[in-house]
Chains A and B, each alone.
Chain A
Amino acid sequence: MSDVAFLVITVVKIVVVFTAIMVGVALLTLAERRICAWMQDRLGPNRVGPQGLLQPAADGLKNILKEETLPAQADKLLFLLAPAISFVPALLTFAVIPFGAPLHTKWGDIPLVVADLPVGFLYILAISSLGVYGITLAGWSSNNKYSLLGGLRAAAQMISYEIAMGMSAVAVLLIAGNVTLSDVVARQATGTPLTWNVVPLALGFLIFLVAAFAETNRLPFDLPEAEGELIAGYHTEYSAMKFSMFYIAEYSNMVTASALMTTLFFGGWDIPFTTWDNTAPWTLLKTIASVAMFGAKVGFFLFLYIWVRWTLPRFRYDQLMALGWRVMLPLALVYLTVIATAIWYLHERLGWVYDARFALALGAVNVALAVPLFFVLDRGRLVSGSVAREGA
């Protein structure tokens, strides 16, 4: 592919992916309100456009036209920069996630990923942790006590769960043998969903899922903006488009986290039970089918986010930190050790190559680990409820 063609295709991909995320975020805000309404047996926004479909557009327009406030004694520069600092990384992270089979054109096969960086997963860890600066600076610069507490809480929470998130992803790298996400997808696509990493690394997926909820500040971990105690947390003082940008950042972080769970543990764009979609020659039909599959998987995780929101109550802050440091971190360490030992035993001692049987054997190890784990968690010693505290 010539340099000019590469540049043109890259620009087209960037614009398409950016637009897709922005539209996706807009629809997600509507979907969240509609699903919340459905779960609470009410109607939700249904007046602007058919089924309320134009509601996000109306909200966006309103946010542009609203007055911007600047609290007295706020740090003006940081107050202005903070929304941008949380908006930019949120929209950058999606760049390395492959979202479909290569698109066949007369200029050659185009891989459907904005930037297939050789550092793949490291890029996601690096860029997504930049988002914490935006939230913390927003909280600090507002000169509002609630904002400050929200910002501090967000910083402590996000960095605590990032460790567990990184460690559980190392288990994926053990099996993939590469940090490039397109290779992670290719390793899982063998024609059977048994080799999707969620089978050999079920417990790792659980750790990653919990950490992803904490990283995106969603319930049951939404303490940075706990409305009952902190008004709106770090964005209490923000209005108009600056508020909207925090909102977009939060929702696009949800989209990226869902896409990441799909890619690392659920085979990415792989269609289960067939190798038709993973083999050349590439056709338009394969691309459309695999992108639709990817969308369906990501959509499921986004629904899970909203579903969990109305299922679990918010954690208390000491419970949140105890769960992060006393459960997730040692669990991720022990888990990595056990999985590495199991892979060594199966591969070196028994001479198995990685296939569905290998994955199932690792899955059995996960089940064996899960039983004592949930038994210990159930005793309430590490993460204690309020009843146990009052008795002590």
Chain B
Amino acid sequence: MLRPYLPFLLLLLFVVANAAGMIGLSHLVGPKRPTPLKDAPYESGMPPLGSARERFSIKFYLVAMLFIVFDIETVFLIPWGTIYFGGAGGALRMGFLLVEMLVFLAILGVGYVYVWKRGALQWD
């Protein structure tokens, strides 16, 4: 049963080995002549001002949270999508499956309108 997943595991090992090889080879072959100026973060040729570990806009955090909600909805839609046409081999009526999903999407739609009205989708 797990046989189809074996090629994936082999491919993963192969690709990881390649990635490690590339980084390792370049590390071994390339010259190393660091100077303090060369190691400074690049800021268009000016001496860097402060650290880059600064606070950043809360908007990015909000997007990540909204993403989790809507992405899980997408994942819920996928199993429904696979049984829809043909009604789970005749076990369920297609009309029932349709109404079921319309209810689900209606609830999702209410949440979406709420988020929009609260201004979470406004990027200024």
Q: Which residues of A contact B (CB under 8 A)?
A: 6-7, 10-11, 13-15, 18, 63-73, 80, 83-84, 87-88, 91-92, 95, 114-118, 121-123, 142-149, 152, 155-156, 159-160, 162-163, 166-167, 170-171, 173-179, 231, 236-237, 240-242, 244-245, 317-318, 321-322, 325-326, 329-330, 333, 336-337, 340-341, 343-344, 347-348, 354
Q: What is the CA–CA distance of A145 and B54 in the complex, to the nearest angstrom?
A: 9
Q: A329 touching B78 by the CB < 8 A rule?
A: no
Q: How many A-B Cβ pairs are below 8 Å? A: 216
CB-defined interface of B50-84 with A at 8 Å, one 1/0 digit per residue? 01111010011001101100110011011001111
Q: A240 touching B26 by the CB < 8 A rule?
A: yes
Q: A329 touching B112 by the CB < 8 A rule?
A: yes
12 A-B pairs in the complex with CB atoms less than 8 angstroms apart = A14-B7, A14-B11, A70-B39, A88-B15, A88-B19, A146-B42, A156-B64, A159-B63, A160-B63, A178-B82, A326-B116, A344-B98
- Report the interface size for chain B: residues with CB under 8 A from the other chain: 71
Q: What is the CA–CA distance of A326 and B113 in the complex, to the nearest angstrom?
A: 10
CB closest chain-B residue, reference A66: B30
CB closest chain-B residue, reference A15: B14
Known: A142-B41, A348-B94. A179 touches B71 (CB 8 A): no
Q: B124 touching A318 by the CB < 8 A rule?
A: yes
Within 8 A of A (CB), among B25-62: 25-27, 29-34, 36, 38-44, 48, 51-54, 56, 59-60
Known: A114-B11, A143-B52, A143-B53. A325 touches B64 (CB 8 A): no
| Chain B residue contacts of A336, Cβ below 8 A | 77, 105
Q: Which residues of B contact A (CB under 8 A)?
A: 3-8, 10-12, 14-16, 18-20, 22-23, 25-27, 29-34, 36, 38-44, 48, 51-54, 56, 59-60, 63-64, 66-67, 70-71, 74-75, 77-78, 81-86, 94-95, 98, 101-102, 105, 108-109, 112, 116, 121, 123-124
Q: What is the CA–CA distance of A95 and B22 in the complex, to the nearest angstrom?
A: 21
Q: B42 touching A160 by the CB < 8 A rule?
A: no
Q: A10 touching B82 by the CB < 8 A rule?
A: no
CB closest chain-B residue, reference A316: B123
CB distance from A198 to the nearest CB of B (A): 18
Q: A13 touching B82 by the CB < 8 A rule?
A: no
| Chain B residue contacts of A88, Cβ below 8 A | 12, 15-16, 19
Which of B7, B42, B53, B74 lies in contact with A95, CB distance below 8 A? Answer: B7
| Chain B residue contacts of A174, Cβ below 8 A | 81, 84-85
Which of A18, A83, A173 lies in contact with B15, CB distance below 8 A? Answer: A18
Q: B78 touching A173 by the CB < 8 A rule?
A: yes
Q: A116 touching B23 by the CB < 8 A rule?
A: no
Known: A88-B15, A144-B52. A340 touches B98 (CB 8 A): yes
Q: A337 touching B102 by the CB < 8 A rule?
A: yes
